[in-house]
Structure 1
């Protein structure tokens, strides 16, 4: 292309970029359009919303309602003043709106957000809970109608429990009751739905159709990590727990099995709806708005209950921490929503690591000390494998001069023959070339298990140790003031120390094994990956990996004092002098196949000449 063409293309790009910035809509326009799209989606689903003037007991301006509307099904309930009724015990502060009799906000009184503010799971008009049905040829959603409370406030302190009823009247003898029950302590809020005398009013009175949705608020330091562990979980009556995607918008319809509970799960807290007899049909949805910096995710559930003669449906909400013992105490296998990894990792964490951790934490020590003792115990259990690995690497190091002689004699032009000669040497010396790798491979599941265990561990939340203010998230002692690709806006000091210790560990490992060439440098790739991947992971996890490296150094130092290279060399020479035992047991299938493969590879060039 000539100069004029380049100039023209440059001007076109300039115009495109200029028009993008000059003609882009304002923030107000963007919010207005989002609100319109949101309202359209609600209308299509048959859900109506009424703007809330205030969250307190303040009155709205009088609404002018057509008399025909007032005479229609539940028409009188479309007019009212929103009030927020507070239900409170030792652990929860719940605000219930008279509009829809829905839980509008929940505060966990004994916890704080990462920046020490009151911890509120959700709050505002974006949270819905209502019954959907058709009455008088009109779609009704109780979320939009005004209920009448039986009291103006509720504090359970000093009482065993307390109940408050919100009533939606159709007539004097026909109504819907929401009965909330709160105990003096705990994270459970009971909700009993009562439908009285509405069989001839509701078009399909055989189904109770519930629409429930929440926008979960940010409570943790790192929004990315919080979103990574937040989604909709559910359990069927066969005790199978499943979840929607954590990485993208997802939806699932379930009609083949009853769902006993649905959880709007965040990283460390959950909002769960339980129905013991099971929802017969469920439609679940989770979505993510990356532009929203205050809401983690938006979650929704459409649930159906078959109607019964009594018209009474007892439900339970759980608003609380994702702590193993607390969730387990609720029953219904709520603890299964804590992600401990897949396959064997889950069983290692649940039946080994968690058991030891619970034992250690009961002494009331700082969690930094608990992690240290956990690492020490783990290293003691794995010490036989560490010894075996070191011994095998020491044998390979002692054999290296003889392997170099074979390499000089055979040359590098025929790698198959070279490997055959190496195998002969290993066999005579009684050395297993994989002996140093296998013990390390057997330890890998434990390494990866901790990668899932620490991020899911509620107990570390808000716990400090040394300079780490919160072991459940990264320490950002080193701040860049700008975003750096792959690393982000900070460098975790504990992650840096862990990475340096891994470099040192790799260096000494190469000295022990006698690795040369490319193999000498492959191990240094791992710490580079660590500092990129683990920089945003919990400082408690990086602290564990750092301790594991340091304890491995100590173990190898002690083993080195116990292992004499001269004795190993003498033993190898003795093994080489022994005649081959013809009655020895048959070679393993792997060894036999390897020798056969090498023999075939050695003969192949001769056949093709």
Structure 2
């Protein structure tokens, strides 16, 4: 190396040294880039928009060939782990799975079960709702599709509603299930929809198969089974049910339905259509040997699936008559208010009267006493007329006895002469009975109201722990046929009061022989019937008997038999020359014709 080359190398090294000293610190420091950052850096604007619009699908390593064959382009939705989400308000708590939006459990927060545990009205241990749809690859279970959950809220008329959105998307389209729960309500709204997937979903309906082993929630299993059945309401406005027999029952209504209810004694799980349910079929049976299950119910029906979506509403809640009326048309029929000739008493009088008294009194024993007093006061004019009618029959008893002595062997002639006597004296033999018959709807209406009044459930009074079931005063070491293995004290009090009332009433009437004794037999029969009925019902009849006894004692003090006899004599003079009415003449002619035929 010569001098010139050495000088060049030294100058080149000096330049590099000076450059590194003055310029190296101003260069950016190179950092290690992670794989996630690399994906973000390389993502295009179109990819970012797509990521915002399409929810993330559950990830898994691979799809087997069976799933691909069965689900086709939807196979990706079967991957991933199940996630549970909760919708909750002050009334109910609903747990929902990410797999198809299946309802896993419904808890009623204001009530407890048989052993004071949280009341589970629906759970996957006992209930199953399978939604299936027809696709190009065949029928699939929509509950197998795993979707991504997202919770949010929205404003409603009653406050802030909770919203659960379950969604997922592929290149071919998107699926979403949206649940909404408003505050203070037992209704859960569901909306299912698909976007695109042209040619994938080929059917026009989604099929729902709902099976439920209805869990026992009440002390009295027999009474619970008498009140548990499948109810449904047709699109034309007709209500029907499968009955309460222990035998297996089936039904397949030809008409489309508006709602279907799995109704227990005090609670109902129901499904309400936005439009209608089609091709429904029902099966109901009783597992007699299984004391933990009230009934086994199954319903299958189709939901119209137009334009890739459908909507419906669930009801999970108590059988409160006024509350059910607000749910949808005819839904209050899940509460049995009795046959048509007594149901009007419960629907329009007792239910509203009960609700009114609840605002001012918290003790339901006091409410029952007040209901008795109000009803007896309202019916007191009929009670008074009934007493006067019986008093008139009592004061003319000597005349009736004379007819019996004169025509005792000729019953037809006896009846004819009695009719003449009643007409002459201005006395009607049914005047004492008719007012009592008009009170019968109120008497029988209570047989349906108290066993179905959820307001009494768990309410105690005196020695009764629960007015909605029988009060056990004594447990017997054996079972008496048609009576049971316990003694209800309220039923005993009702029986004794009825016998006392019958004895008092017989002093006011002319009843003799079998008619006089039947009044003592009926209370004993009712003692057997009502021993296992709700304590509230027996208590109502006991109080009613005591009030009626008091009413008649007061009326007896106020009514003078001598004055009644005087009025009867005045009628006798007034009607001495009175002509027979057409009805009386026809009745007399019919009796004569019957007598003539008898003699022939």
TM-score, normalised to structure 2, is 0.82
- Residue 560 of structure 1 pairs with residue 556 of structure 2: yes
1:111 positional shift: 1.1
- Residue 483 of structure 1 pairs with residue 469 of structure 2: no
1:239 positional shift: 3.5
Instruction: Kindly indicate whether the alpha-carbon contact (under 8 Å) linking 1:86 and 1:153 is maintained by their aligned counterparts in 2.
Output: no
Q: Secondary structure at the match of 1:320?
A: strand
After superposition, the CA RMSD in angstroms is: 2.9
1:605 positional shift: 6.0
Among 435, 455, 471, which residue is 1:459 paired with? 455
Match of 1:85 in 2: 85
Query: Where in structure 1 are there 5+ consecutive unaligned residues?
Result: 1-61
Among 571, 590, 595, which residue is 1:597 paired with? 590
Q: Deviations over 1:245-289 (max 9, x none)?
A: 1224333223433x2222111111111212222223322333222
Measured in 2, the distance between the counterparts of 1:337 and 1:579 equals 56
Q: Deviations over 1:375-428 (max 9, x none)?
A: 1111111111111111111122222233223222333x2222222232232222
**CA shift in 2, pair 1:497/1:65, >3 Å:** farther
Match of 2:234 in 1: 236
**CA shift in 2, pair 1:482/1:138, >3 Å:** farther
Match of 1:194 in 2: 193
Q: Deviations over 1:145-181 (max 9, x none)?
A: 2523325999x9x982333233477x44345432222
1:116 positional shift: 2.0
Query: Where in structure 2 are there 5+ consecutive unaligned residues?
Result: 1-59
Aligned length: 536
Instruction: Kindly indicate whether the alpha-carbon contact (under 8 Å) linking 1:230 and 1:246 is maintained by their aligned counterparts in 2.
Output: yes
Measured in 2, the distance between the counterparts of 1:324 and 1:560 equals 40
Q: Larger C-alpha radius of gyration, 1 or 2?
A: 2
- Residue 349 of structure 1 pairs with residue 343 of structure 2: no
Among 245, 248, 253, which residue is 2:243 paired with? 245
Q: Deviations over 1:319-349 (max 9, x none)?
A: 1111123223334442232221121312221
Measured in 1, the distance between the counterparts of 2:586 and 2:80 equals 83
Among 386, 389, 394, which residue is 2:386 paired with? 389
Among 274, 296, 299, which residue is 1:298 paired with? 296
Match of 1:129 in 2: 129
Match of 1:45 in 2: none
Match of 1:587 in 2: 581
Measured in 1, the distance between the counterparts of 2:197 and 2:477 equals 62
Instruction: Kindly indicate whether the alpha-carbon contact (under 8 Å) linking 1:281 and 1:305 is maintained by their aligned counterparts in 2.
Output: no
Instruction: Kindly indicate whether the alpha-carbon contact (under 8 Å) linking 1:451 and 1:541 is maintained by their aligned counterparts in 2.
Output: yes
1:483 positional shift: 2.4
**CA shift in 2, pair 1:581/1:499, >3 Å:** same
Instruction: Kindly indicate whether the alpha-carbon contact (under 8 Å) linking 1:241 and 1:337 is maintained by their aligned counterparts in 2.
Output: no
**CA shift in 2, pair 1:153/1:532, >3 Å:** farther
**CA shift in 2, pair 1:162/1:387, >3 Å:** closer
- Residue 450 of structure 1 pairs with residue 446 of structure 2: yes
Match of 1:160 in 2: 160
Among 66, 69, 77, which residue is 1:68 paired with? 66
Q: Secondary structure at the match of 2:507?
A: helix
Q: Secondary structure at the match of 1:554?
A: helix
Match of 1:106 in 2: 106
Among 267, 273, 276, which residue is 1:275 paired with? 273
Match of 2:263 in 1: 265
Among 484, 490, 495, which residue is 2:491 paired with? 495
Measured in 1, the distance between the counterparts of 2:445 and 2:159 equals 44
Q: Deviations over 1:546-575 (max 9, x none)?
A: 111111111110110111122223333343
Match of 1:213 in 2: 211
1:314 positional shift: 2.1
Instruction: Kindly indicate whether the alpha-carbon contact (under 8 Å) linking 1:278 and 1:305 is maintained by their aligned counterparts in 2.
Output: yes
1:133 positional shift: 3.1
1:63 positional shift: 13
Instruction: Kindly indicate whether the alpha-carbon contact (under 8 Å) linking 1:100 and 1:129 is maintained by their aligned counterparts in 2.
Output: no
- Residue 369 of structure 1 pairs with residue 370 of structure 2: no
Match of 1:507 in 2: 503
- Residue 533 of structure 1 pairs with residue 529 of structure 2: yes
Measured in 1, the distance between the counterparts of 2:511 and 2:347 equals 37
1:602 positional shift: 4.1
Q: Secondary structure at the match of 1:387?
A: helix
Measured in 1, the distance between the counterparts of 2:356 and 2:151 equals 45
TM-score, normalised to structure 1, is 0.81
Measured in 2, the distance between the counterparts of 1:578 and 1:93 equals 76
